[in-house]
Amino acid sequence: MDPAKVYGQIEELISEENPHVQRLYSLGISHILADGPAALHFVREWARFARGEKIGNVPFLDRRVLQLAEPTRSSKFDHTVLLTQPPLLVGQSDNMEERKKPTTVAMLKLSKEQIGKLKSKANGDTPYKNTTRPYSRYEAVAGHMWRCASKARGHVNNQPTRLHIAVDFRNRMQPPLPQDYFGNAVLRQAAITTAGELFSNPLAYASSKIREAVEMVTDEYVRSCLALIKNLPDVSIHRNFHTLGCTLGGFFGNPNMEITSWTSMSIYDADFGLGKPPLLVGQSDNMEERKKPTTVAMLKLSKDQIGKLKSKANEDTPYKNTTRPYSRYEAVAGHMWRCASKARGHVNNQPTRLHIAVDVRNRMQPPLPQNYFGNAVLRQAAITTAGELFSNPLAYASSKIREAVEKGVHWGVSSETLIWKSRAGHLCLYMMLILGWEK
């Protein structure tokens, strides 16, 4: 695909006009540095640090734990995946035609019930039933996809095919590697058979071939593999992934496949301080809210109105701040948060967040230069329920805003103009105070 088109699609995705995207963060990590478990461990600890907490497990950086005293390959293993190229289509002498074909990306959703049926089917009473340990969901789904792909590709019965699998060997070493090891602790394995065997046998056969390949990865196997790699005269073919127009990397397309499972990786656990976005009570996702059009309204508050809100926020209540009165910003933002929850008809136990952009220039030690050109803003959030907003005075909402800001950074902004950008029915209210904006 043309890179320019890709970048254009990304820009369109994250543009201000796109109503389905609020904020996008991304992180790219070279696979030469780390594998999936290591990368996600790094992100989780980074998120912990961003929340102001102590790092739980510092990434383990000493690669010498994989250094072999005597790198000797074991004669017990043939290491087919490392030493041989994947099978070619029957009747073809190379894979150049297959390499030229464009890659198609498709997202196929399997429900919990469908996955359960596949797992039950794989564990049915067949010659390949495993009596020691039932086949897992991964083994069932991977085997099913392998069979479907061979059928969809129209393979003849004698077509050799490989299913490549990434195997994490952290717990397969003796002694095991540290769980927070930062590096690559993954080997590519492969289940190998023919299309005819996949077609003529039940799903359990494909699942059994997958398990057989994975269980081959023992401490002895890993050390033999590392010794083999160390002694290879050229490892470049193992460093490259297949990309269109590149012939350096291994090609795992037709008649083969490669499957990577991220189901055991806690990819959604990274909380950078805002927690998980709340949903409407009674809803399991926010898809209906996302579909609603965005409404932009400019509400002009007079100097007198802002003054009254500030005075109301600083009345003698349990939430009165005796150290420093609530600012105009805290008063107006709290008022708008309460109004939005009332207008949306929230029930009392409805969780809600007010997201706030906080300038950190003056809170760094030492402070950033005031003319720093770049991003020096963090998103913070005040969190409560609609019932708490309704039953308490304005000072309560203002106190939640100050509490959120003072957790990590402090800012001071004054304004007489509030631009309120709100998605109809959405729980999160975004506010921006514009300093010195005139008619």
Q: pLDDT tens for residues 190-245?
A: 999 999 999 999 999 999 999 999 999 999 999 999 998 888 888 776 766 666 55
Find the mean pLDDT for residues 97-101.
87
Range of lowest pLDDT (126-135, 231-240, 379-388, 398-407): 231-240
Walk me through the domains of the chain, giving residue ranges and CATH numbers.
65-259 (3.30.559.10), 287-433 (3.30.559.10)
Higher pLDDT: 144 or 21? It is 144
Sequence-separated contacts (24+) of 171-178 with Cβ below 8 Å: 172/217, 172/218, 172/219, 172/222, 173/219, 173/222, 174/219, 177/65, 177/66, 178/60, 178/65
Burial of 389 (C-beta count, 10 Å sphere; 0-12/13-18/19+): buried
Q: Where are the beta strands (DSSP E) in 261-409?
A: 294-300, 351-359, 377-385
Q: Is 205 helix (H, G, I), strand (E, B) or coil?
A: helix
State how far the Cα of 116 lies from the Cα of 118, in Å rounded to an integer.
Answer: 5
* Residue of 414 and 83 predicted with greater confidence: 83
More confident residue, 302 or 417: 302
pLDDT higher than 90, residue 152? yes
Q: Of 318, 334, 325, whose CA–CA distance to 404 is shortest?
A: 334
pLDDT for residue 4 is more than 70: no
In order, the DSSP letters of 85-120 are PPPPPTT-S-SHHHHHSPP--------HHHHHHHHH
- 12 vs 316: CA distance, rounded Å: 49
Residue 159 has pLDDT above 80, yes or no: yes
Q: For residues 432 and 359, is the Cβ–Cβ distance under 8 A?
A: no
pLDDT tier for residue 141 given thresholds of 50, 70 and 90: very high
Would the pTM count as exceeding 0.75? no
Q: Tell me the C-alpha distance between 331 and 415, whole Å.
A: 12
Output the DSSP codes for 209-277.
HHHHHHHT--HHHHHHHHHHHHH-S--GGGT----TT--SS----TT-EEE---TTS-TT---SSS-SP
* Arithmetic mean of pLDDT, 28-40: 85
Mean pLDDT (whole number) for 54-71 = 85
pLDDT higher than threshold 90 for residue 368: no
Dig out the tokens for 377 from the structure.
């803003």
pLDDT single digits (tens) 319-334: 887 789 999 999 999 9
Rg (CA), the chain: 29
CA angle, corner 212, sides to 206 and 213, nearest 5?
95
Our answer to whether residue 31 is catalytic in this structure is yes
Q: Percent of the chain, pLDDT > 70?
A: 80
Q: How far is it, in rounded angstroms, from Cα 56 to Cα 48?
A: 8
Encode pLDDT of 278-295 as tens digits: 655 666 667 777 778 877
State the pLDDT at residue 415.
Answer: 27
E-strand ranges in 45-185 read: 160-168
Is 43 or 21 the better-scoring residue by pLDDT?
Answer: 43
Exactly one of 62, 219, 269, 271 is catalytic; name it. Answer: 271
Catalytic-role residue among 31, 94, 238, 410: 31
Nearest to residue 206, comparing CAs of 249, 270, 163?
163
Q: pLDDT: is 417 or 159 the higher one? A: 159
Quote the pLDDT of residue 417.
24
Mean pLDDT of the chain: 81
Q: Is the pLDDT of residue 106 over 90?
A: no
Which position has the higher pLDDT, 316 or 304?
Answer: 304
Which of 352, 318, 326, 327 lies closest to 338, judged by CA? 352
Q: Is 271 a catalytic residue?
A: yes
Q: What is the mean pLDDT of residues 295-308?
A: 84
pLDDT band at 360, cuts 50/70/90? confident
In this predicted structure, which of 82-96, 249-263, 266-280 has the lowest mean pLDDT? Answer: 266-280
Give how far the C-alpha of residue 344 lies from the chain's centroid of Cα atoms, to the nearest Å: 31
Tokens of 165: 């699998």
Question: At residue 439, does pLDDT exceed 50?
Answer: no
For residue 240, what pLDDT is reported? 60
Q: What is the mean pLDDT of the segment spanning 297-319?
A: 85
pLDDT for residue 137: 95
